[in-house]
């Protein structure tokens, strides 16, 4: 299995036009999430993903988010290797979102 990549600007456009309800899975730590997050995202820190697999729908579109796109890429690969069929990594992470989509978002 594999996963796709999406840029912050592509994700922004996609979220404005899609009729589906993708899961925005934030895999950062709670302290990071407190600083800034995408609306309607769900926080499950990276280290908790293996124990949370049964809480996630393997057929639902899942867009994985972290700070710069590195942890989320690892989680996306992990999900894909566990039979999750529609996984997308946010390239550049929440940092890219703050730079290119929502300049009012806090950065760290």
- Reading the chain (108 residues) residue by residue, the pLDDT tens digits are 699 999 999 999 999 999 989 999 999 999 999 999 999 999 999 999 999 999 999 999 999 999 999 999 999 999 999 999 999 999 999 999 999 999 999 999
The pLDDT of residue 81 is 97
The pLDDT of residue 16 is 95
Rounded to 5 degrees, φ, ψ at 14 are -60, -45
Domains in the chain, CATH or no CATH each: 4-100 (3.40.250.10)
Residue appearing with tokens 């996984």: 87
The two tokens of residue 54 are 């049964």
Catalytic residue check, 36:
no
Among the listed residues 24, 66, 80, 94, the single catalytic one is 66
Q: From CA 30, how far away is CA 24, in angstroms rounded? A: 15
Q: From CA 31, how far away is CA 5, in angstroms rounded? A: 25
């Amino acid at each position: 299995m594999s996963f796709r990549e999406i840029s912050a600007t592509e994700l922004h456009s996609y979220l404005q036009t899609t009729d589906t309800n993708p899961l925005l899975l934030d895999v950062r730590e709670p302290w990071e999430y407190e600083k800034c997050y995408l609306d309607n995202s769900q926080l499950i820190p990276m280290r908790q993903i293996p124990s949370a697999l049964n809480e996630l729908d393997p057929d639902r579109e899942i867009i994985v988010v972290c700070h710069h796109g590195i942890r989320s890429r690892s989680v996306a690969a992990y999900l894909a290797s566990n039979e999750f069929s529609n996984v997308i990594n946010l390239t550049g992470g929440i940092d890219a979102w703050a730079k290119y989509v929502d300049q009012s978002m806090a950065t760290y």
